[in-house]
Structure 1
Amino acid sequence: MAVVVWVAEGTWQACIDAMRMYVPARTPVVLLHVSPEDVAGAAHGAFAGLMGRGHPRSSPPDGWGSDPGTRMEALADAAGRRLLDAAAERLGRPCTRVECAGRVEHEVVTAAAGADLLVLARDGDRTRPGPRSLAPATRFAVDHAACPVLLVWPAPPQAPALPPGAH
Protein backbone atom coordinates (compact mmCIF):
# COMPACT_ATOMS: atom_id res chain seq x y z
CA MET A 1 0.00 0.00 0.00
CA ALA A 2 1.28 3.48 -0.90
CA VAL A 3 -0.25 6.68 0.42
CA VAL A 4 -0.04 10.09 -1.22
CA VAL A 5 -0.56 13.04 1.13
CA TRP A 6 -1.33 16.35 -0.56
CA VAL A 7 0.67 18.94 1.38
CA ALA A 8 -1.04 22.29 0.87
CA GLU A 9 -0.65 25.48 2.87
CA GLY A 10 -3.20 25.84 5.63
CA THR A 11 -4.32 22.20 5.62
CA TRP A 12 -1.23 19.99 5.60
CA GLN A 13 -1.06 19.49 9.37
CA ALA A 14 -4.52 17.88 9.45
CA CYS A 15 -3.57 15.63 6.52
CA ILE A 16 -0.40 14.44 8.23
CA ASP A 17 -2.21 13.85 11.53
CA ALA A 18 -5.02 11.88 9.81
CA MET A 19 -2.54 9.83 7.82
CA ARG A 20 -0.64 8.94 11.00
CA MET A 21 -3.91 7.94 12.68
CA TYR A 22 -5.34 5.73 9.92
CA VAL A 23 -2.35 4.35 8.00
CA PRO A 24 -0.02 1.65 9.35
CA ALA A 25 3.46 2.86 10.29
CA ARG A 26 5.30 0.75 7.69
CA THR A 27 3.24 1.98 4.76
CA PRO A 28 5.22 3.92 2.13
CA VAL A 29 4.24 7.60 2.15
CA VAL A 30 4.64 10.22 -0.57
CA LEU A 31 4.33 13.85 0.50
CA LEU A 32 3.19 15.88 -2.50
CA HIS A 33 3.35 19.64 -2.89
CA VAL A 34 2.25 21.35 -6.09
CA SER A 35 3.10 24.94 -6.97
CA PRO A 36 0.48 26.42 -9.29
CA GLU A 37 1.91 27.28 -12.69
CA ASP A 38 -0.44 30.19 -13.33
CA VAL A 39 1.21 32.73 -11.00
CA ALA A 40 4.72 32.50 -12.43
CA GLY A 41 3.23 32.04 -15.91
CA ALA A 42 1.34 35.30 -15.58
CA ALA A 43 4.50 37.09 -14.52
CA HIS A 44 6.43 35.59 -17.45
CA GLY A 45 3.66 36.61 -19.85
CA ALA A 46 3.34 40.12 -18.48
CA PHE A 47 7.06 40.65 -18.69
CA ALA A 48 7.33 39.29 -22.21
CA GLY A 49 4.25 41.10 -23.47
CA LEU A 50 4.48 44.47 -21.81
CA MET A 51 7.19 45.03 -19.27
CA GLY A 52 10.00 43.48 -21.27
CA ARG A 53 9.79 45.84 -24.22
CA GLY A 54 12.71 48.15 -24.61
CA HIS A 55 14.62 46.83 -21.62
CA PRO A 56 18.16 45.54 -22.02
CA ARG A 57 18.62 41.78 -21.75
CA SER A 58 21.39 42.05 -19.18
CA SER A 59 20.83 40.63 -15.72
CA PRO A 60 20.31 43.02 -12.83
CA PRO A 61 22.71 42.85 -9.88
CA ASP A 62 20.35 40.69 -7.79
CA GLY A 63 21.19 37.69 -9.97
CA TRP A 64 17.57 36.73 -10.75
CA GLY A 65 17.52 37.90 -14.33
CA SER A 66 15.13 40.48 -15.66
CA ASP A 67 12.03 38.25 -15.86
CA PRO A 68 10.04 38.41 -12.56
CA GLY A 69 8.51 35.01 -13.34
CA THR A 70 11.92 33.38 -12.84
CA ARG A 71 12.17 34.82 -9.35
CA MET A 72 8.59 33.80 -8.55
CA GLU A 73 9.36 30.21 -9.63
CA ALA A 74 12.45 30.12 -7.41
CA LEU A 75 10.52 31.51 -4.43
CA ALA A 76 7.69 28.99 -4.96
CA ASP A 77 10.21 26.12 -5.13
CA ALA A 78 11.84 27.23 -1.89
CA ALA A 79 8.47 27.61 -0.14
CA GLY A 80 7.40 24.17 -1.35
CA ARG A 81 10.60 22.59 -0.04
CA ARG A 82 10.12 24.26 3.36
CA LEU A 83 6.52 23.00 3.51
CA LEU A 84 7.57 19.46 2.60
CA ASP A 85 10.36 19.58 5.21
CA ALA A 86 7.88 20.66 7.90
CA ALA A 87 5.43 17.94 6.86
CA ALA A 88 8.16 15.27 6.91
CA GLU A 89 9.23 16.41 10.36
CA ARG A 90 5.64 16.23 11.65
CA LEU A 91 5.21 12.80 10.03
CA GLY A 92 8.27 11.52 11.88
CA ARG A 93 8.98 8.54 9.65
CA PRO A 94 10.63 7.87 6.29
CA CYS A 95 8.81 9.30 3.29
CA THR A 96 9.33 10.42 -0.26
CA ARG A 97 8.97 14.13 -0.98
CA VAL A 98 7.65 15.24 -4.36
CA GLU A 99 7.58 18.89 -5.41
CA CYS A 100 6.09 19.75 -8.79
CA ALA A 101 4.48 22.64 -10.63
CA GLY A 102 1.50 22.71 -12.94
CA ARG A 103 -2.26 22.68 -12.76
CA VAL A 104 -2.65 21.69 -9.15
CA GLU A 105 -5.68 19.44 -9.57
CA HIS A 106 -4.13 17.55 -12.50
CA GLU A 107 -0.82 17.06 -10.71
CA VAL A 108 -2.57 15.68 -7.61
CA VAL A 109 -4.67 13.23 -9.64
CA THR A 110 -1.60 12.15 -11.63
CA ALA A 111 0.44 11.58 -8.45
CA ALA A 112 -2.38 9.54 -6.92
CA ALA A 113 -2.80 7.33 -10.00
CA GLY A 114 -0.67 4.51 -8.59
CA ALA A 115 -1.54 5.04 -4.93
CA ASP A 116 -3.73 3.00 -2.64
CA LEU A 117 -4.93 6.12 -0.81
CA LEU A 118 -4.94 9.90 -1.32
CA VAL A 119 -5.11 12.07 1.79
CA LEU A 120 -6.30 15.65 1.37
CA ALA A 121 -8.21 18.28 3.32
CA ARG A 122 -11.22 20.48 2.84
CA ASP A 123 -9.94 23.90 1.82
CA GLY A 124 -13.00 25.92 0.89
CA ASP A 125 -15.66 27.44 3.16
CA ARG A 126 -14.83 25.96 6.54
CA THR A 127 -17.75 27.52 8.38
CA ARG A 128 -20.12 24.67 7.46
CA PRO A 129 -20.18 21.26 5.81
CA GLY A 130 -21.29 20.91 2.22
CA PRO A 131 -20.06 21.26 -1.34
CA ARG A 132 -18.54 24.69 -0.78
CA SER A 133 -16.18 23.25 1.84
CA LEU A 134 -14.06 22.07 -1.11
CA ALA A 135 -12.15 24.49 -3.32
CA PRO A 136 -12.29 23.71 -7.07
CA ALA A 137 -8.92 21.93 -7.22
CA THR A 138 -9.82 19.75 -4.25
CA ARG A 139 -13.23 18.94 -5.71
CA PHE A 140 -11.53 17.89 -8.96
CA ALA A 141 -9.07 15.65 -7.08
CA VAL A 142 -11.86 14.02 -5.06
CA ASP A 143 -13.92 13.42 -8.21
CA HIS A 144 -11.09 12.14 -10.41
CA ALA A 145 -8.67 10.27 -8.13
CA ALA A 146 -8.36 6.64 -9.20
CA CYS A 147 -7.90 5.49 -5.61
CA PRO A 148 -9.74 5.81 -2.30
CA VAL A 149 -9.66 9.31 -0.81
CA LEU A 150 -9.38 10.26 2.84
CA LEU A 151 -10.91 13.73 3.10
CA VAL A 152 -10.27 15.49 6.40
CA TRP A 153 -11.34 18.74 8.04
CA PRO A 154 -8.40 20.99 8.92
CA ALA A 155 -10.50 21.99 11.95
CA PRO A 156 -14.03 20.98 12.98
CA PRO A 157 -16.76 22.89 11.13
CA GLN A 158 -18.31 25.77 13.06
CA ALA A 159 -21.92 24.80 12.28
CA PRO A 160 -24.04 21.67 12.62
CA ALA A 161 -23.60 18.96 9.98
CA LEU A 162 -27.15 19.29 8.63
CA PRO A 163 -29.08 22.49 7.98
CA PRO A 164 -32.18 23.12 10.14
CA GLY A 165 -35.16 21.03 9.02
CA ALA A 166 -33.08 18.50 7.04
CA HIS A 167 -33.90 14.87 7.84
Structure 2
Amino acid sequence: MKAVVLITEGVWEAAVDAARDAVPADASIELLHVDTGDAEHVLEGAFSGLMGRGRRSGAPTALAQDLDQATAQLLDAAAQRLGRPCEKRALKGRPERVAVAAVEGADLLVMSRDGDFSRLGPKSIGHISRFIIDHVPCQLLLVWPGSVPPVSSIPPPPPPGHKPPHEHH
Protein backbone atom coordinates (compact mmCIF):
# COMPACT_ATOMS: atom_id res chain seq x y z
CA MET A 1 0.00 0.00 0.00
CA LYS A 2 1.16 3.51 -0.81
CA ALA A 3 -0.29 6.52 1.01
CA VAL A 4 0.32 10.16 0.16
CA VAL A 5 -0.14 12.83 2.83
CA LEU A 6 -0.84 16.30 1.46
CA ILE A 7 1.10 18.84 3.53
CA THR A 8 -0.75 22.15 3.50
CA GLU A 9 0.32 25.13 5.59
CA GLY A 10 -1.80 25.66 8.67
CA VAL A 11 -3.54 22.25 8.67
CA TRP A 12 -0.82 19.69 7.94
CA GLU A 13 -0.53 18.36 11.48
CA ALA A 14 -4.00 16.76 11.38
CA ALA A 15 -3.24 14.99 8.11
CA VAL A 16 0.08 13.67 9.41
CA ASP A 17 -1.54 12.49 12.67
CA ALA A 18 -4.29 10.71 10.72
CA ALA A 19 -1.75 8.99 8.48
CA ARG A 20 0.32 7.94 11.48
CA ASP A 21 -2.76 6.44 13.13
CA ALA A 22 -4.62 4.98 10.12
CA VAL A 23 -2.01 3.84 7.58
CA PRO A 24 -0.67 0.33 8.20
CA ALA A 25 2.90 0.09 9.45
CA ASP A 26 4.04 -1.84 6.36
CA ALA A 27 2.70 0.79 3.94
CA SER A 28 4.90 3.35 2.25
CA ILE A 29 4.11 6.98 2.99
CA GLU A 30 4.99 10.01 0.92
CA LEU A 31 4.68 13.52 2.31
CA LEU A 32 3.71 15.88 -0.52
CA HIS A 33 3.85 19.67 -0.54
CA VAL A 34 2.81 21.71 -3.56
CA ASP A 35 3.87 25.34 -3.89
CA THR A 36 2.21 27.62 -6.44
CA GLY A 37 5.41 29.55 -7.11
CA ASP A 38 3.32 32.74 -7.11
CA ALA A 39 5.58 34.63 -4.71
CA GLU A 40 8.54 34.30 -7.06
CA HIS A 41 6.51 35.57 -10.03
CA VAL A 42 5.11 38.50 -8.07
CA LEU A 43 8.57 39.57 -6.99
CA GLU A 44 9.96 39.22 -10.51
CA GLY A 45 7.10 41.37 -11.82
CA ALA A 46 7.73 44.00 -9.20
CA PHE A 47 11.41 44.28 -10.04
CA SER A 48 11.02 44.12 -13.80
CA GLY A 49 8.03 46.37 -14.33
CA LEU A 50 6.19 47.86 -11.42
CA MET A 51 9.21 49.56 -9.87
CA GLY A 52 10.42 50.71 -13.26
CA ARG A 53 14.09 50.05 -12.60
CA GLY A 54 14.56 46.71 -14.32
CA ARG A 55 15.54 43.47 -12.70
CA ARG A 56 17.29 43.55 -9.34
CA SER A 57 19.98 40.91 -9.50
CA GLY A 58 19.52 37.95 -7.18
CA ALA A 59 16.30 38.96 -5.40
CA PRO A 60 13.93 36.46 -7.07
CA THR A 61 16.57 33.74 -6.82
CA ALA A 62 17.10 34.45 -3.12
CA LEU A 63 13.35 34.34 -2.51
CA ALA A 64 13.07 31.04 -4.40
CA GLN A 65 15.86 29.61 -2.25
CA ASP A 66 14.15 30.86 0.93
CA LEU A 67 10.84 29.32 -0.16
CA ASP A 68 12.51 26.02 -1.03
CA GLN A 69 14.23 26.00 2.35
CA ALA A 70 10.93 26.74 4.14
CA THR A 71 9.27 23.90 2.23
CA ALA A 72 12.09 21.52 3.16
CA GLN A 73 11.73 22.54 6.82
CA LEU A 74 7.97 22.00 6.67
CA LEU A 75 8.43 18.53 5.16
CA ASP A 76 11.11 17.73 7.78
CA ALA A 77 8.73 18.77 10.58
CA ALA A 78 5.98 16.61 9.06
CA ALA A 79 8.34 13.63 8.80
CA GLN A 80 9.42 14.08 12.41
CA ARG A 81 5.77 14.24 13.53
CA LEU A 82 4.95 11.13 11.47
CA GLY A 83 7.70 9.28 13.33
CA ARG A 84 8.34 6.59 10.72
CA PRO A 85 10.19 6.25 7.44
CA CYS A 86 8.70 8.24 4.57
CA GLU A 87 9.53 9.94 1.33
CA LYS A 88 9.30 13.72 1.02
CA ARG A 89 8.37 15.42 -2.23
CA ALA A 90 8.06 19.12 -3.01
CA LEU A 91 6.43 20.14 -6.27
CA LYS A 92 5.43 23.44 -7.86
CA GLY A 93 2.46 24.39 -9.96
CA ARG A 94 -1.29 24.64 -9.63
CA PRO A 95 -1.76 22.80 -6.32
CA GLU A 96 -5.04 21.13 -7.21
CA ARG A 97 -3.78 19.73 -10.52
CA VAL A 98 -0.29 18.87 -9.32
CA ALA A 99 -1.65 17.05 -6.25
CA VAL A 100 -4.12 15.00 -8.28
CA ALA A 101 -1.41 14.00 -10.77
CA ALA A 102 1.05 13.24 -7.96
CA VAL A 103 -1.24 10.70 -6.28
CA GLU A 104 -1.76 8.66 -9.44
CA GLY A 105 -0.81 5.11 -8.54
CA ALA A 106 -1.23 5.67 -4.81
CA ASP A 107 -3.82 3.76 -2.80
CA LEU A 108 -4.72 6.54 -0.36
CA LEU A 109 -4.53 10.32 -0.07
CA VAL A 110 -4.70 11.81 3.42
CA MET A 111 -5.51 15.50 3.63
CA SER A 112 -7.02 18.07 6.00
CA ARG A 113 -9.93 20.36 5.48
CA ASP A 114 -8.74 23.89 4.81
CA GLY A 115 -11.76 26.19 5.03
CA ASP A 116 -14.09 27.45 7.75
CA PHE A 117 -13.69 25.16 10.76
CA SER A 118 -16.41 26.79 12.87
CA ARG A 119 -19.24 24.68 11.46
CA LEU A 120 -20.04 21.62 9.43
CA GLY A 121 -20.73 22.15 5.77
CA PRO A 122 -19.22 22.76 2.36
CA LYS A 123 -17.36 25.91 3.43
CA SER A 124 -15.08 23.73 5.56
CA ILE A 125 -13.36 22.80 2.29
CA GLY A 126 -11.52 25.38 0.19
CA HIS A 127 -11.68 25.48 -3.59
CA ILE A 128 -8.33 23.75 -4.10
CA SER A 129 -9.28 20.93 -1.76
CA ARG A 130 -12.70 20.65 -3.41
CA PHE A 131 -11.01 20.06 -6.77
CA ILE A 132 -8.71 17.44 -5.27
CA ILE A 133 -11.61 15.66 -3.55
CA ASP A 134 -13.61 15.61 -6.77
CA HIS A 135 -10.76 14.33 -8.94
CA VAL A 136 -8.39 12.24 -6.79
CA PRO A 137 -7.78 8.83 -8.41
CA CYS A 138 -7.55 6.85 -5.16
CA GLN A 139 -9.18 6.43 -1.77
CA LEU A 140 -9.32 9.58 0.35
CA LEU A 141 -9.10 10.20 4.08
CA LEU A 142 -10.28 13.75 4.79
CA VAL A 143 -9.73 14.94 8.35
CA TRP A 144 -10.67 17.93 10.46
CA PRO A 145 -7.82 20.00 11.87
CA GLY A 146 -8.64 20.46 15.54
CA SER A 147 -11.99 19.56 17.00
CA VAL A 148 -14.97 18.71 14.84
CA PRO A 149 -17.84 21.20 15.08
CA PRO A 150 -21.10 19.87 16.52
CA VAL A 151 -23.96 18.72 14.30
CA SER A 152 -25.91 21.73 15.59
CA SER A 153 -23.54 23.93 13.54
CA ILE A 154 -25.21 22.85 10.29
CA PRO A 155 -27.13 25.84 8.91
CA PRO A 156 -30.92 25.52 8.92
CA PRO A 157 -32.59 24.38 5.70
CA PRO A 158 -34.03 27.01 3.37
CA PRO A 159 -37.66 27.92 3.89
CA PRO A 160 -40.32 25.93 2.00
CA GLY A 161 -40.64 27.02 -1.62
CA HIS A 162 -37.14 28.53 -1.74
CA LYS A 163 -35.39 28.01 -5.06
CA PRO A 164 -31.62 28.18 -5.41
CA PRO A 165 -30.45 31.13 -7.57
CA HIS A 166 -29.65 28.94 -10.58
CA GLU A 167 -33.26 27.69 -10.69
CA HIS A 168 -34.91 31.13 -10.83
CA HIS A 169 -36.56 31.99 -14.11
Q: Map 1:47-58; keep pairs closer than 5 Å.
A: 47-51=47-51, 53=53
Deviation at 1:124? 0.4
Query: Secondary structure of the residue that 1:118 maps to in structure 2?
Result: strand
4+ residue runs over 4 A deviation: none
Superposition TM-score, scaled by structure 1 size: 0.85
Identity %: 48
Q: Which residue of 1 aligns with 2:35?
A: 35
The more displaced of 156-165 and 1-10 is 156-165
1:101, CA displacement in angstroms? 1.5
Offset at 1:113?
A: 1.2
Paired amino acid for 2:121: G
| Paired residue secondary structure (1:119) | strand
Q: What's the CA shift for 1:24?
A: 0.4
Q: Which residue of 2 aligns with 1:14?
A: 14
CA offsets 1:73-128 (integer angstroms, 9 cap, x no match): 21211111011101111111111100111111111111111111110000100101
> What's the counterpart of residue 106 of structure 2?
115
- 1:82 partner SS: helix
Unaligned runs of 5+ in 1: 60-64
Whether 1:147 and 2:138 are equivalent positions in the alignment is yes
Alpha-carbon RMSD: 1.9
In structure 2, the gaps of 5 or more residues are 158-169
1:88 corresponding residue in structure 2: 79
Structure 1 residues 161 and 12 mapped into 2: Cα distance closer, same or farther (>3 Å)? farther
Structure 1 distance, partners of 2:79, 2:110, is: 15
Structure 2 residue matching 1:77: 3-state secondary structure: helix
User: Matched residues in 2 for 1:131 and 1:78: separation?
Assistant: 34
Residue matched to 1:44: 44
In the TM superposition, what is the alpha-carbon distance from 1:164 to its structure 2 partner? 6.3
1:5 CA displacement: 0.3
Residue in structure 1 matched with residue 96 of structure 2 by the alignment:
105
Match of 1:62 in 2: none
Q: Whole-Å Cα distance in 1 between the matches of residues 52 and 83 of structure 2?
A: 46
Asked if 1 retains the 8 angstrom alpha-carbon contact of 2:119 and 2:154, the reply is no
Deviates more, 1:121-130 or 1:30-39: 30-39
Counterparts of 2:132 and 2:92, CA distance in 1: 16
Q: TM-score, normalised by structure 2?
A: 0.84
Structure 2 residue aligned with 1:24:
24
